[in-house]
Chain A
Amino acid sequence: MSKTLLLGDEAIAQAFIDAGGSAINSYPGTPSTQITEYVMKSKEAKEKGIVANWCANEKTALEASIGVAYSGKRAMTCMKHVGLNVCGDPFMNAAIIGTKGVLVVVADDPSMFSSQDEQDSRFYGHWAMIPMLEPSNQQEAYDMVFFGYELSEKLGTPILFRIPTRLAHSRAGVERRAALPQNPLSSPSDPKSFVLLPVNAKRLYRDLIDKQPAFNKSSEESGYNKYFEGTDKKMGIITTGIAFNYLMENYPGGKCPYPIVKVTQYPLPFNMINRLYDEVEQILVLEDGQPFVEELVKGFLGKGKKVMGRLDETIRRDGELNAEKVAKALGLPAQSGAPVPAVVTNRPPALCQGCPHTDSYTAVIEVMKKYEQGRVFGDIGCYTLGFNMGAINTTVCMGASITMAKGAAEMGIFPSLAVIGDGTFGHSGMTGLLDCVNEKANVVVIILDNDITAMTGGQPSSAHCKIYEICKGLGVEEEHIRTVVPLPKSHDEFVKILEEEVAYNGVSVIIPRRTCLVELKKHLKK
């Protein structure tokens, strides 16, 4: 079969379609978005009747996948690393259930290209005691989706499928396999396994513990973890996922003198690593992420042979791995071109020319100038870039604008403003607004409604065309739900509305609504 040029994300999506996947339920988040998007746009997926949905958040998405699995079908849920925090509850419990046919694809973002932290999802998989897959390239990503479903159904466990930004957003030629049919609709073989009452959960947790040897056995025998012989026993190297490539980049022709254990499947292959430990004088661990494997191999006391990696900063602890960092750790000569000339200035990302958020922020800045104590609590989306305009004071996590504004208002911060986008409001803002209403918090919540989830490339927003009604339904008084069109010509009107609502002691919502320009251009083209 000929090769198709696919992003790592797209390779996973195509494999999902080819491996008999029935439903993909996700929430967009860089760098995972293109997986679900690819399935949505795929003609094949449509012909096969595959369900592809953007859900309100990662939790609702993963729960839908557990429902798909309950029906005997193959499911996938994709998210960025911080999304795994949002669906931590169903994730941990899907593990206890032993949910078959579920792949949880999590794209981590080492170096935080488009994220607020660089947490490593493998700690979650380890914690949940389930197998994890971490492909080293696009072809493996494709193949391992097939393998993941087999493993999941054979051993009775969901699978955590971890990729970093560089694999998610890099293209390579991928060879496809013959497509598998979808599973027939069926009921769980053990219906009690989906009822996590303590009486069942205790038994199921024991089952999960008892499955561990089978997980380990697969890691040794599946062929995805490999032991490479080496002649120089002064050092042995463990690589995980794409770190293998950064190692090989330093040895033209792939001739690394040291023995290597290439890990792409977890739990860690005990026998292979034990063999490496016995054969070499010291170990170097290369992983694109936090020192997950390094900690496991080193142990708490760090006794025995020397284990090097990010913990001892042989490799800088923060930031993504690359070939240069690996070269340095191996003591190989560094190579670099000319330095960046001093004339080069930074060009940070900014809101687009004519973006509706700019008009909203211009009004916010003008009103807030009058209050020394006032604070604006921001959220996650394009509008986070308002920080560069001096418009917002905080950005923490999805939905935290409203709840932080409430907490601060109750401590006496006045005015206490929250700024949140329509997509993020649908994801995690509604419950926080209910808290505000219940406590009659003195906050002004500005819901920037640009009709879509803009930052990740224009996915539909779950609260689309429902924001006013949602706020009303949650108990915000109708006279304090205000709408405005954010345009330079309506600046004075916006300022007046904002001043009036700041003056009101209670919960106010202002909805500036104007379509995202990037999205508008796409529609005009069609």
Chain B
Amino acid sequence: MKKDIILCGVGGDGIVSVAKIISDAALSVGLNVKQSEIHGMSQRGGSVFSHLRISSEPIFADVIPEGKADIILSSEPMEALRYLPFLCPTGWIITNSAPFVNIKNYPDLGAVMAELKKVPHCVAFDANEIAKTVKARSNMVLLGAAAPYLDIEFGKLEEAIRNIFGRKGEDVVASNIAAIQAGRDAK
């Protein structure tokens, strides 16, 4: 089993938390994990990404080579396209369709969506809307939507959420679990 996942979005949108949850779940079922992320200057509202590699075999590089990613999980539609060179021909894009516009020259959203439609395997949906209904952050909804593609039991993701958010109280755990369930059932 091998899953190479690019998680991407805009600084501060919580993609690193998603990466941590998947990593924790993978480690709990005895898989090898490597997850790299970017800190510092590149964080401030700019494009951010994390490379997450899960495998039953030993993993060497901390970053995914181009053309090898199985999944691009993106919190923003244009950001999903930025990492296309990493996606393998059979790979999936799972992305939020709601744009995050913090630059003046953000492209026409229709053109962005048209490019996404060209990708053979793409799931695009408005995670912000669903997040509102369950009062959680959209990053967790996206995680739920990606869950069926991860080859990790859904219950293990719920456990990981409990491990990671447990300290913050039962309410936080419950809303995050509700969010991943809503994401899973969204399509």
Mark A residues whose CB is within 8 Å of B: 3, 5, 30-31, 33-34, 113-114, 166-167, 169-173, 242, 244-246, 248-249, 253-254, 322-324, 327, 334-341, 343-352, 382, 384-385, 455-457
A249 B65 Cβ-Cβ under 8 A: yes
Which residues of chain A are near B66, meaning CB under 8 Å? 324, 334-337
Which residues of chain A are near B65, meaning CB under 8 Å? 249, 322-324, 327, 335
The yes or no answer to B169 lying at the interface (CB within 8 A) is no
Which residues of chain B are near A171, meaning CB under 8 Å? 20, 23, 33-36
**Within the complex, which residue of A341, A345, A455 is in contact with B105, where a contact is CB–CB below 8 Å?**
A345
Mask of B35-49 contacts with A, CB within 8 angstroms, 1/0? 111111111111100
B87 A349 Cβ-Cβ under 8 A: no
Known interface pairs A337-B89, A347-B46; A457-B62 also in contact (CB < 8 Å): no
CA distance A170 to B112 in the complex (A): 31
Interchain Cβ contacts under 8 Å between A and B, 9 examples = A5-B20, A34-B39, A113-B41, A170-B36, A172-B33, A172-B59, A336-B66, A339-B85, A347-B46
Known interface pairs A345-B78, A347-B47; A248-B39 also in contact (CB < 8 Å): no
The yes or no answer to B102 lying at the interface (CB within 8 A) is yes
Which residues of chain B are near A3, meaning CB under 8 Å? 27
Which residues of chain A are near B63, meaning CB under 8 Å? 166, 170, 322-323
Whole-angstrom distance between the Cβ of A236 and the nearest chain B Cβ: 19
CA distance A178 to B24 in the complex (A): 23
Of all chain A residues, the one with the shortest Cβ separation from B24 is: A5
Within 8 A of A (CB), among B76-132: 78-79, 81-82, 84-89, 91, 102-103, 105-108, 111-112, 115, 119
A352 B45 Cβ-Cβ under 8 A: yes
B84 A338 Cβ-Cβ under 8 A: yes
Whole-angstrom distance between the Cβ of B9 and the nearest chain A Cβ: 10
Whole-angstrom distance between the Cβ of B62 and the nearest chain A Cβ: 4
Of all chain B residues, the one with the shortest Cβ separation from A456 is: B40
Mask of B43-61 contacts with A, CB within 8 angstroms, 1/0? 1111100010000011111
Of all chain B residues, the one with the shortest Cβ separation from A323 is: B65
CA distance A334 to B66 in the complex (A): 9
The yes or no answer to B14 lying at the interface (CB within 8 A) is no
A5 B27 Cβ-Cβ under 8 A: yes
B45 A169 Cβ-Cβ under 8 A: no
Mark B residues whose CB is within 8 Å of A: 10-11, 20, 23-24, 27, 32-47, 51, 57-63, 65-69, 78-79, 81-82, 84-89, 91, 102-103, 105-108, 111-112, 115, 119
Known interface pairs A246-B61, A340-B85; A169-B78 also in contact (CB < 8 Å): no
B111 A113 Cβ-Cβ under 8 A: no
- Of A34, A343, A385, most buried by chain B (CB within 10 Å of CB) is A343
Whole-angstrom distance between the Cβ of A405 and the nearest chain B Cβ: 23
A30 B61 Cβ-Cβ under 8 A: no
Give the dominant DSSP class at A's interface.
loop
A113 B62 Cβ-Cβ under 8 A: no
Of all chain B residues, the one with the shortest Cβ separation from A335 is: B67
CA distance A113 to B107 in the complex (A): 25
A341 B81 Cβ-Cβ under 8 A: yes
Known interface pairs A5-B23, A170-B35, A347-B102; A249-B84 also in contact (CB < 8 Å): no
Which residues of chain B are near A334, meaning CB under 8 Å? 66
B41 A336 Cβ-Cβ under 8 A: no
CA distance A347 to B43 in the complex (A): 11
Which residues of chain B are near A336, meaning CB under 8 Å? 66-67, 85
Which residues of chain A are near B108, meaning CB under 8 Å? 343
Of all chain A residues, the one with the shortest Cβ separation from B47 is: A347
Which residues of chain B are near A34, meaning CB under 8 Å? 39
Of all chain B residues, the one with the shortest Cβ separation from A454 is: B44
A166 B82 Cβ-Cβ under 8 A: no
B81 A343 Cβ-Cβ under 8 A: yes
Which residues of chain B are near A172, meaning CB under 8 Å? 32-35, 59, 62
B42 A344 Cβ-Cβ under 8 A: no
A248 B88 Cβ-Cβ under 8 A: no
CA distance A352 to B35 in the complex (A): 26
Whole-angstrom distance between the Cβ of B156 and the nearest chain A Cβ: 14
Of all chain B residues, the one with the shortest Cβ separation from A138 is: B34
A337 B87 Cβ-Cβ under 8 A: yes
CA distance A338 to B11 in the complex (A): 24
A248 B60 Cβ-Cβ under 8 A: yes
B88 A337 Cβ-Cβ under 8 A: yes
B45 A350 Cβ-Cβ under 8 A: yes
Of all chain B residues, the one with the shortest Cβ separation from A518 is: B12
Which residues of chain B are near A335, meaning CB under 8 Å? 65-68
Which residues of chain A are near B38, meaning CB under 8 Å? 113-114, 169
B27 A349 Cβ-Cβ under 8 A: no
CA distance A33 to B40 in the complex (A): 10
CA distance A489 to B61 in the complex (A): 51
Which residues of chain A are near B61, meaning CB under 8 Å? 242, 245-246, 248-249, 322-323
